[in-house]
Amino acid sequence: MRTHGYVLRRAVRASYILPPSETSARWARHLTAAYLTRGCGQWVSADQVDDARLVVSELVTNATRHGRGNCRLRLSVDHGRVTVEVHDHSPVPPRLRPTGPTAPDAAGGSGGGSGSADVCGLREDGRGIAMVRELSRRFSVLGSPGGGKTVQAVLTC
């Protein structure tokens, strides 16, 4: 058998810059799945890939909606842990919103500011950070010296 003189190297960490666009979350899900299934050099379960895609989608959506400018997605895998980090330029941390019925506002509307409500009066938005926290073994928001913040979620098997 003949061997070739090259070594297949895998990325220990992947980092992507995403524009403030509605399509960024879709691209981030695709990039996450590709990195975790083919690029990280470690075995990652299908359930972990699915959970990471959900977490990435939520965090990138928040960063592109509420951050200022581009956001950075960073992924790494180490000893069965998948770490997702999303950095944006807004110093305001993500907020865990109540998911119960919306309160009427002063104008008689459904309340909730920019949030939306379905026909039952329950909020459709504001549940993402609760989902991210539930899927994560560790969830944190770190201020950045240069401004902005990094939201980090660590997922395990």
What is the 3-class SS of the chain, one letter each residue?
A: CCCCCCCCCCCCEEEEEECCCCCHHHHHHHHHHHHHHHHCCCCCCHHHHHHHHHHHHHHHHHHHHHCCCCEEEEEEEECCEEEEEEEECCCCCCCCCCCCECCCCCCCCCCCCCCCECCCCEECCCCHHHHHHHHCCEEEEEECCCCCEEEEEEEEC
Provide the pLDDT for residue 141. 95
Provide the pLDDT for residue 100. 59
Span 26-57, pLDDT tens digits: 999 999 999 999 988 889 999 999 999 999 99
Q: What pLDDT band is residue 80 in, cutting at 50, 70 and 90?
A: confident
More confident residue, 151 or 99: 151
Of 106-110, 114-118, 153-157, least confident by mean pLDDT is: 106-110
More confident residue, 36 or 79: 36
Span 83-113, pLDDT tens digits: 999 999 999 988 876 655 554 443 333 333 4
Given a cut of 90, is residue 116 above it in pLDDT?
A: no
Given a cut of 80, is residue 150 above it in pLDDT?
A: yes
